[in-house]
């Protein structure tokens, strides 16, 4: 895995955006990501759609590598940790998570995070909430227009369309505006929305080896 990154200042804080679909908040020793959608591939397979079983494992391997590089003390997952309740991939995630029991897991719930009490006990989350505020930064899954505070959000799975003379290339991205840092989906098994992203902002598009501001 090759790490490329960009340092930005947002909401009065410094964040390192990476081409591996996560941001690192150094002063808080916090790794921030969104939309892991654990169980999505298994859900598709259960419904007769052939999806490779290694897709989630690849996401978790990438997350483990980010842990080795940044050595965070906390995760903030900005919604949609899960995709469709409990299944075999949720069991795999819980086993994986035991290797990192010293890291605090904070889940800001998204629209897919339908978590029963039994599932909550299995996941062993340290914090589970619908909104989380740290140092005047609000973490919420979908942007809340009623709030004036700077927000870090997910939900949209943002993408940016690069147009050349001969082709169009759609790439995942971060979007930074005056009021918001919109995160890409951490899972690679997601689509890209190029239409719903904020129109006035800085776009940080990335590939497995690079990240660039547009």
Q: What is the pTM of this model?
A: 0.91
Sequence-ordered list of residues with C-beta below 8 angstroms from that of 162, at least 6 positions apart, any chain: 168, 169, 170, 171, 205, 214
Q: What pLDDT is recorded for position 49?
A: 45
How many Cβ atoms are within 10 Å of 79's Cβ, its own excluded? 24
Sequence-ordered list of residues with C-beta below 8 angstroms from that of 139, at least 6 positions apart, any chain: 32, 76, 78, 108, 131, 132, 133, 151, 152, 153
Q: What pLDDT is recorded for position 40?
A: 59
How do strand 180-182 and strand 150-153 relate by DSSP bridges? parallel
pLDDT averaged per 10 residues in sequence order, the chain, 214 residues:
96 98 98 88 46 73 96 96 72 90 95 83 89 97 96 96 83 97 91 92 96 94
Cα 106 from Cα 109, distance rounded (Å): 9
Q: What pLDDT is recorded for position 51?
A: 52
Q: What pLDDT is recorded for position 38?
A: 87
Q: What pLDDT is recorded for position 13?
A: 98
How do strand 13-18 and strand 5-10 relate by DSSP bridges? antiparallel
């Amino acid at each position: 895995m090759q790490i490329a990154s960009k340092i930005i200042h947002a909401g009065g804080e410094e964040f390192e955006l990476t081409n591996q679909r996560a941001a690192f908040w150094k002063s808080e020793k916090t790794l921030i990501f969104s939309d892991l959608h654990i169980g999505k591939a298994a859900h598709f397979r259960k419904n007769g759609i052939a999806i490779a079983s290694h897709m989630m494992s690849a996401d978790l391997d990438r997350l483990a590598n980010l842990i080795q590089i940044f050595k965070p003390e906390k995760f903030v997952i900005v919604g949609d940790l899960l995709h469709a309740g409990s299944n075999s991939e949720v069991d795999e995630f819980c086993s994986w998570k035991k290797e990192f029991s010293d890291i605090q897991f904070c889940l800001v719930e998204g629209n897919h995070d339908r978590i029963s009490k039994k599932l909550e006990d299995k996941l062993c989350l340290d914090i589970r909430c619908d909104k989380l505020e740290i140092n005047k930064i609000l973490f919420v899954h979908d942007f809340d227009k009623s709030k004036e505070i700077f927000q870090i959000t997910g939900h949209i799975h943002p993408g940016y369309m690069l147009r050349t003379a001969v082709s169009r290339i759609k790439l995942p991205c971060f979007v930074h505006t005056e009021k918001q840092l919109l995160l890409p989906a951490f899972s690679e098994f997601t689509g890209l929305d190029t239409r719903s992203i904020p129109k006035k902002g800085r776009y940080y598009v990335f590939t497995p080896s690079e990240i660039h501001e547009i």
